[in-house]
Structure 1
C-alpha cells in the first residue's frame, strides 16, 4: 500500500492512481467466478437490455430497465450479442457488457470485497469522512465483442458538489492495450465537469434522461494507455476524462468497479439518474459489515 498522502496527492495531481496487488490472484479468480456465474442466470428474452455508451436511436439510457437498476442486480448485453427479438447471437458466457448496479450490497461475494479493510483503508487515505458506495458494476469486455467506452467523466453521471466521487476499478485479469485497457487523460480533472446526464425535467417527453450539453471532443493525444496486471486497482477521480477501446483480441478483460461518494458536507445531486433505493441505501463504508 502507498503512504497516506501519496495516494491523495497523486489523485489530485494526475486524476488517477494505480495501486498494484490490490487483490491477490486467488481473490480475482473468486470475483471472476462470481461474474461468470451471473452469465448463467440471464433474464428472459423480452427483458433483455442492450448497453452502449454511443448515443443512438435506441439509447440505453432511455430504457426504464436502466433507471430501475439502482437497487437491483441488472443485466446489460453487448450490442452485437442480441438480435432484434432479444435472442442471443453468441454464447451466454460472452453475451454481457456489464451487470449492475447494486452488486455491492445484494451479492455476498461482491459485498465482501467492496466493504473490505483494504477499501476502508484507501477511503481513509483519500480523506473521506463518511464514504458511501453508490453503485457497482461487473464489466466483462468480452473478446471480439467488448464494445468501446467513449471518453467520459464519471461525475457526468454521479454529480456531487463540492467533493467529486472516486471510482475503484479493479482488474480481475491482465488489462492490455489489445484487450481494451483504460486510457486516461492525465490532468483533465482540473477543468471541471464538462457535461451532465440529468433526469429530464419535462415529464411529457419520452426521454427520461437527457444530457445538458453536446458531447465534448477530446484530442487523441491527451490520452495515455494504462495497461495493468491482474489484481491492480485504478482509483479514478470523478472529473478525469477516460475511455477504453473495443476489445479486438481473443482475451477477455473482466473488471469489478464501484463508486464512492463523500456524504459529509457534500451534495449528491437530485438530478442524477441513480438515487438511493429501498434495497440499496447509500451506507457508510467504514461501518458497513462485509457480511450481512
Structure 2
C-alpha cells in the first residue's frame, strides 16, 4: 500500500466506512446546517473567484465550525434561490474537534493505522471540511495541491477524502493526476507580514490535462491524497448531490509555520487520533 502511494500519490480504499457511518455523518451535517442562521454571515466559498478571502468569518474558521454558501446560492437581490439546506457549499474547519459525531468518525482506529502505515510519525488532525456539492449549483474546485494551504517543513500533508455518497462523472467526482505529486509545489498560500492572505506562485508550469484520471467511487470509499498531488473536481450540474467529508492530516514531527492561513487559538492545538475521555 505504501509503495503504491509513494509511486502514485493517491490511494483508493473501497468500503472503508459503512453505509451506516456515512448516513450518521450526513445527518449530523444536516443538523449543523439546520442550526445555522444564514444571516450570521453570508460567506460564499469559491475556488474560482476566491470571494471567501479577505473576510474574517472565513479566515478565523480554523478552530470553529462555520457554514459557507455556494456561489450560485443567491439571486441578484441577495436572497437565497432555494432552501438553505440546498445552498451550502461546505462546513469547516474544526468540526473534527468540536463536534462529537465528527470527532468519532475522524478518529477511526483504522484511519489511524492508515496514517501510520503511510509513514506519519505524529499524525495530527488539522482541518476538516464537509462538502455538499449541491445539485445543479455545486461549484467547481480548480486543480490544486493541498500542501499549498497546509504547508509544513518538510511537506507532510495528507488528505483523507470520504465519499458520503457515490461520486460519479455525472455529479462532479474528483480527478487526480497520479504520479505528479513528485512535481514541486506550484503555489504557497500564506499570511504576509501585514496578516493578509496572499498566494505566491513558485512554478508557472501548467498541469498536463491529458494525465487527469477520474476518481469515481462508491459510498464509504476513502481516497487518500498526497499533499502535493494535483487534484480537482468539476461543477455539479446534475440533480444528484455528491456529499463528501475531507480530513487533512499533518505530521507533528514537522514544522507548521505561523504564516499558514489556517491558525488556531493556543488553547486549541492540533490533536491526534486519541478520543477525549
Do they fold alike, i.e. is TM over 0.5? yes
1:202, distance to aligned residue in structure 2 (A) = 3.5
Unaligned stretches of 5+ residues in structure 2: none
User: Of the candidates 66, 69, 94, which is equivalent to residue 77 of structure 1?
Assistant: 69
Deviation per residue, 1:125-172 (Å, 9 max, x gap): 112221100000100001101000000000000011213200000001
1:276 alignment partner, SS class: coil
The question of 1:210 aligning with 2:202 is answered no
Distance 1:200 1:55, change over 3 A: farther
Aligned to 1:232: 221
2:62 alignment partner, SS class: helix
Aligned to 2:8: 14
Tell me how far apart the structure 1 counterparts of residues 40 and 207 of structure 2 sit (CA, whole Å).
37
Distance 1:63 1:217, change over 3 A: farther
Aligned to 2:236: 247
State the TM-score, normalizing by the size of structure 2. 0.94
RMSD: 1.7
Tell me how far apart the structure 2 counterparts of residues 137 and 108 of structure 1 sit (CA, whole Å).
15
Aligned to 1:179: 171
User: Of the candidates 35, 47, 50, which is equivalent to residue 41 of structure 1?
Assistant: 35
Whether the 8 Å CA contact 1:200–1:209 is kept in 2: the answer is yes
State the TM-score, normalizing by the size of structure 1. 0.90
1:236 alignment partner, SS class: strand
1:17, distance to aligned residue in structure 2 (A) = 0.2
Whether the 8 Å CA contact 1:140–1:255 is kept in 2: the answer is yes
Alignment of 1:35-114 (within 5 A): 35-45=29-39, 47-55=41-49, 59-83=51-75, 86-114=78-106
Aligned to 2:246: 257
Unaligned stretches of 5+ residues in structure 1: 1-5
